[in-house]
Structure 1
Amino acid sequence: MGIRDIGVRVGHGTPGPFNSITDVQGVRVGHRTLVENRAEGSIRTGVTIIEPRAGIARFDPCFAGCHVLNGNGDATGLEWIREAGLLTTPIAYTNTHSVGVVRDALVAAERAWVGNSQYWCMPVVLETFDGVLNDIWGQHVTAAHVHEAQAQASSGPVAEGSVGGGTGMICHEFKGGIGTASRRLAPEDGGWTVGALVQANYGRRDALRVAGYPVGEVLRNLPSPFDRRQTGVPGMGSIVVTLATDAPLLPHQCEQIARRASIGLARVGGGTEYSSGDIFIAFSVGNRGIPPANYGKAIEPVISVRSVSQDFISPLFVAAAEAVEEAILNALVAADDMDGQGVHVPALGAARLLTALEQVGWRREADHATCPSAD
């Protein structure tokens, strides 16, 4: 279930057929979810893999860019993207203490493809903290789990909510996790697709906005899973975002797209907490035949690439912001209640959300919500 399934429209753009990052041709997503109770603690974690191209993508890199809104988090591989403008590996989401094992597992998977050649890789692994619900110190994610997520990666619909890397995440003091959405531009704007996949684990409840409506104002007094003495403060956490598009973009344009994730985050009520690591990456599959970096084989000294004219890039910015906004809300709507480490985190839930929306002036018209008035 997503936000549209309960009759709430986000923005004015048109989603792709799956309303998912996999609406971008060739992009695949796989999850490995870990939910288990052990004597040493609750396991509520996992890993999510985003493959930019099916097959041997490392020999057909994508132009990419990244943006950090707030750096209270960590990621691997971003310095190489900033330097070269290339994405040469899958992207992985996991928890804060499992970044290393996931990165190493991706390196091992790359070696299985290239053997003992001089080619090297710098995998992109993004994290958010799930230690409220999960025994994060136990480091329960293994290389086998990463390989299983890769093996399950596919196009088509993407599971959302408490799955994969998002299993133990909390968003606006409700159960959060993985969310995805897409926008398909009109033919006169280029007809391209932009897709987003988020791991949402940030935000105060009173700041939550849905389709522009301040629902957090009527939800703020519900019991919070956060206790300053034990589980931290409301708003702590992070969000990581991947944006994909088939528009032919150069690296600096990908970075421009990544920055627009900040707008989608702000519309839902995030982006203002120092305790949140807000890290975004965008890549384009719109150019093929980009030489692999440092593979050691002779290549032509000049290559030809295509690029969207700057006069046509604004609709891509709009699509990126809307896709991120809707992906976050889809993560919230799709998630279920979860208990772990002695903490109960409630789901937002469709019924509760619709009641809160009606209390702040939203009403259903036809199959979508009206926008809030300017005043």
Structure 2
Amino acid sequence: MRARDLVDFDGTPGTWNALTDVPGVEVGYTTLVEGDGALVPGIGPVRTGVTAILPLGRERVGTSVAAGMFSFNGNGELTGSHWIEETGSLALPVAITNTHAVGPVHRGVLEWSLARNPRLQEGWHLPVVGETFDGYLNDINGRHVREETAIAALDAAASGPLAEGSVVGGTGMNCYGFKAGTGTSSRRVTVGAQSYVVGVLTQANFGARHQLTIRGRQLGPQLLDDNPMQDAARSAPPGSGSCITVVATDAPLLPLQCKALARRVSLGLARTGTTGSHFSGDVFLAFSTANAGALDSGIGDAPDGIQRLDFVPWPAVNPLYDAVVQATEEAVVNALVASDTMIGRDGHRSPGFPNDVLRSAAMR
């Protein structure tokens, strides 16, 4: 089930209503779910995984795309982000996992990329890996995510519909005190005479229960019961967590325009109720698959030493902003709707969202 089966959303989605509606983008999964009962570090229980995103698919790893990132709240990690800020470009796959698995996933992305494109052996690289914290349900210090976990996700990358909820990097994540995780959505956009697609994938692990708002209706205050995360002994207050969101489009954009799209993720999240917790790492990345290779670091492919970019004029970008906000909102609700109740380490329970609430006529 997806949120659109239960409630209406703004905008027109692509074929799969997913990040992979953007031509060329591929996404791969590895989900790790093992064990029950008391936490034994290094043994489990395990509730985690890796999400891998290939901006130009497996055949063009190492080819740059225009990119920009935005940190709404910096209690999180997105490796390689300084170089994205410096050059406005992204050339390797993007991966998302749990907070304490960034290191092995970083190395896994590098190893996979070097094997996939031997030409990359001659250079240096800064893989992009994002994270959110799944320690409430997962043995986060157990080193269950390894280099080969990331490599398996990259090997599995493909186009087509995507799994949502308690899968891949989002396996152990929670949102607004409910089980959530991975969500995705897309929008078809017309700019002038041209048609484009904007896709969003989010790893949702943020928000306090009382904040939850869906399609303008504040549901959180009606759903305060059965909130074990709030009652559990935790080092951070309700609302803590993180959100990593990736935006992709085939519209030709400048790096600063990609950054502007990444900023609009904040507005999509706000539609779902969050005001941004001090303890939440909310970091967003946007890229454009157009102008592929134009921002490669070398000049060998440009005989005159000059590279050129096509781009949507700044006054025409508003439909793309609309699409990011709409798709982000729907992606978060998709993550909630797709997730069932999960029991993790030490019997910690994250309740599934009561989807029947969205069947109410008042939601339409």
TM range (shorter): over 0.9
Q: Contact conserved, 1:69 with 1:271, CA < 8 A, in 2?
A: no
1:287-339: CA deviations, max 9, x gaps?
13415325x84643111210101121011000011111100000000011100
Helix, strand or coil for the counterpart of 1:192? strand
Q: Which residue of 2 aligns with 1:18?
A: 16
Q: Which residue of 2 aligns with 1:217?
A: 221
Note the C-alpha offset of 1:232: 4.4
Note the C-alpha offset of 1:196: 0.1
1:70-128: CA deviations, max 9, x gaps?
00111201001000000111110000000010001111112212267422221110000
Note the C-alpha offset of 1:272: 2.1
Helix, strand or coil for the counterpart of 1:161? coil
Q: Which residue of 2 aligns with 1:29?
A: 27
- What is the total number of aligned residue pairs between the two structures? 356
* Stretch deviating more after TM superposition (179-188 or 331-340): 179-188
Helix, strand or coil for the counterpart of 2:109? helix
Q: Which residue of 2 aligns with 1:227?
A: 231
Q: Which residue of 2 aligns with 1:324?
A: 328
Whole-Å Cα distance in 2 between the matches of residues 352 and 336 of structure 1? Answer: 15
Residue 347 (structure 1) aligned with residue 352 (structure 2) = yes
> Residue 306 of structure 1: which of 300, 305, 310 is its match?
310
Q: Which residue of 2 aligns with 1:372?
A: none
Equivalences for 1:1-375 in 2 at 5 Å? 1-6=1-6, 8-11=7-10, 13-37=11-35, 40-112=43-115, 113-114=117-118, 117-186=121-190, 188=192, 190-227=194-231, 229-230=233-234, 232-294=236-298, 297=300, 299-300=302-303, 301-341=305-345, 342-354=347-359, 362-363=362-363, 369=364
Q: Contact conserved, 1:58 with 1:292, CA < 8 A, in 2?
A: no
Whole-Å Cα distance in 2 between the matches of residues 268 and 250 of structure 1? Answer: 29
Whole-Å Cα distance in 1 between the matches of residues 120 and 67 of structure 2? Answer: 26
Helix, strand or coil for the counterpart of 2:230? coil
Q: Contact conserved, 1:225 with 1:231, CA < 8 A, in 2?
A: no
Note the C-alpha offset of 1:225: 2.0
* TM-score, L = length of structure 1: 0.91
Whole-Å Cα distance in 2 between the matches of residues 29 and 115 of structure 1? Answer: 23
Helix, strand or coil for the counterpart of 1:239? strand
Whole-Å Cα distance in 1 between the matches of residues 211 and 135 of structure 2? Answer: 22
Whole-Å Cα distance in 2 between the matches of residues 257 and 189 of structure 1? Answer: 21
The letter of the residue matching 2:69 is: C
Whole-Å Cα distance in 1 between the matches of residues 123 and 311 of structure 2? Answer: 28
* Stretch deviating more after TM superposition (149-158 or 38-47): 38-47
Note the C-alpha offset of 1:198: 0.1
* Stretch deviating more after TM superposition (114-123 or 176-185): 114-123
The letter of the residue matching 1:14 is: T
Note the C-alpha offset of 1:236: 1.1
Q: Contact conserved, 2:113 with 2:120, CA < 8 A, in 1?
A: no
The 3 A distance-change label for structure 1 pair 297 and 310 is closer
Whole-Å Cα distance in 2 between the matches of residues 31 and 193 of structure 1? Answer: 22
The 3 A distance-change label for structure 1 pair 343 and 121 is same
The letter of the residue matching 1:62 is: V
Helix, strand or coil for the counterpart of 1:226? helix
Q: Contact conserved, 1:132 with 1:231, CA < 8 A, in 2?
A: no
CA root-mean-square deviation:
1.8
Gaps of 5+ in 1: 364-368, 370-375
1:28-58: CA deviations, max 9, x gaps?
1111000001754310000000110113434
Q: Contact conserved, 2:191 with 2:316, CA < 8 A, in 1?
A: no
* Stretch deviating more after TM superposition (107-116 or 172-181): 107-116
Q: Which residue of 2 aligns with 1:373?
A: none
Helix, strand or coil for the counterpart of 2:229? coil
Whole-Å Cα distance in 1 between the matches of residues 205 and 191 of structure 2? Answer: 35
Whole-Å Cα distance in 2 between the matches of residues 118 and 108 of structure 1? Answer: 13
Q: Contact conserved, 2:49 with 2:168, CA < 8 A, in 1?
A: yes
Gaps of 5+ in 2: none
Q: Contact conserved, 1:110 with 1:121, CA < 8 A, in 2?
A: no
* Stretch deviating more after TM superposition (48-57 or 82-91): 48-57
Helix, strand or coil for the counterpart of 2:47? strand
